[in-house]
Amino acid sequence: MKTMTKAAKWTLIPIRAISRLKQRDLRAFGLRSLALAGLTIGLLSSCTLLDSKPTNEQITQLMKQSFAERGDAKLDRLDQSELQRVCSDYTGKEVPKAVKEKLEQAALASVRYPTDGKYLGDFKSGERIAQSGVGLQFSDAKGTVAGGNCYACHQISKQELAYGNIGPTLYNYGKLRGDSEAILKYTWARIYNAHAFNACNSMPRFGAAGILTEAQMKDVMALLLDPKSPVNQ
């Protein structure tokens, strides 16, 4: 077997490095061609590094060479935040308690609460946001308003039969918890940046990542907490 060059060795990245990307982020990009996709996946799935482990910077560079910007999907999505970087380092492993607590404290500190002090918007608009999975993807027209795609992971209203179960059911959310100031702040923070309560979980950071606007978050809050919402019937 011929000795591989150092440059060639860096292209043999374990498939687990790609699995760290969130599903929503992967959907946001298009591979330059199916031929490149097949070649890349073939190399990643069948090869291992011969010498040393590549750095995060080298992995990021390889990924950026494999994707092209299109519409609202830009390559800067491959740039990890400090929280994402730490969580990636612990993929498949338990995050140490001290590290987990530090991440959660930083995430909670990043939460921006409503500027006017009002948490609830229109629950009917909140339902539309929860149903919508468009926005921030390469296939969307530039400027498409993003949805929350909440039903992909949660049961929310009793009327909707198609929903995921990755996350807990939210049916009767407000009916069971009430609408105290503590519940309002907790629910807002959970939507804004769920890492504040469970570091390295898979829930999107709707506020921190700029997926939903403040007004949209208020509408989703109303869907969960307004007594008139179908969620609480």
Backbone angles phi, psi at 73, to 5 degrees: -90, 105
Task: Return the structure tokens found at 81.
Answer: 């935040």
pLDDT band for 51, please (50, 70, 90 cuts): low
Cα 145 off chain centre by: 17
Instruction: Please name the CATH architecture into which domain 104-232 falls.
Output: Orthogonal Bundle (1.10)
Question: Does 112 score more than 90 pLDDT?
Answer: yes
Instruction: Select the more confidently predicted residue: 120 or 24.
Output: 120
> CA 107, CA 57: separation in Å to the nearest integer?
24
For residue 200, the surrounding DSSP H or E stretch is none
Task: Return the structure tokens found at 153.
Answer: 């992971």
Question: Does 45 score more than 50 pLDDT?
Answer: no
Where are the domain boundaries for CATH 1.10.760.10 in the chain? 104-232
